[in-house]
Structure 1
Amino acid sequence: MEKITSFTIDHLRLIPGLYVSRVDFVEGHPITTFDIRITNPNEEPVMNTAEIHTIEHLAATFLRNHPTAGPKTIYFGPMGCRTGFYLLLSGSLTSREIIPLMTELFTFIAEFEGDIPGASAKDCGNYLDMNLPMAKYIARKYLTEVLTDIDDSRLLYPTND
């Protein structure tokens, strides 16, 4: 079998950033998949499931309720390797175009107070696996170390030389 696109990226050279993973077409309409890389693959510890779960609940709620991104949001969820998240948006978009949205999203998470949306036995299949303080820490770290003054090294995948 042929390798899928995400397995062709050199994870030894990949750093935390905001990348276009791929653009697919569904009935002629583009869908952009973004790689929101939070930790340095194979270098830093991966995120634990509780903070991933919390970020997923907060981000999905924020994005689907966003006045402009809401109608374009198809999916937000974690990578199996626990080093980041995938965001699927309707349209052919660049990483640079969504920096303001990602800054708004991660600021929302970093500053969130209160009950996590959907964190109840009625609404979620694993509602006890949440860690808001750690989710907020990760969001602040991503904001300051990645999104602030972001450049092409964190917007374009490393080339396979």
Structure 2
Amino acid sequence: MSNYIMDLRSIVGNRPLLQVGASVIVEDYKGRILLQKRSDNHCWGYSGGSVELDEKVEDTAKRELYEETGLTANSLELFGIFSGKDTHYVYPNGDEVSNVDIVYICKDYSGKLKMQEDEVEQLKFFAIEEIPKEISPPLKIALNKWVDGKIKKQ
């Protein structure tokens, strides 16, 4: 969790916060998606995290991808911005957020997979038909849009 969000949490406790995040859907050369099993809710999702004060959103996306997976994004393509009731979430610790998630696609990356052990339980590439059902709730809308786009191209 970012320092900015942690600082706010020390003041407001678990009350709802508007949280701006930057996320990355990584696709490999086979068209598979990289997902990580989160250690906070034990659900699968793509890499991402909170934007720090004065940080560029693209820099957040690249930073979070590297921290969580060990991969460096060589280029990013804006996929979409997701917000509203479908991205509202209460974490297992009781922290409540209304997310604005700015999601990028990354097909051009380098590095070797290395998970961030305090946030990630597992990293794995999945074909569309293999994507687990246990998706982190605030990420479902974006992930479903990605899947729908891939199916339409087939």
Range class of TM-score, shorter chain: under 0.3
Identify the structure with the greater strand proportion: 2
Structure with higher Rg: it is: 1
More helix by percentage: 1
Task: Tell me the TM-score normalised to structure 1 length.
Answer: 0.27
**Given the two structures, how large is their TM-score scaled by the length of structure 2?**
0.28
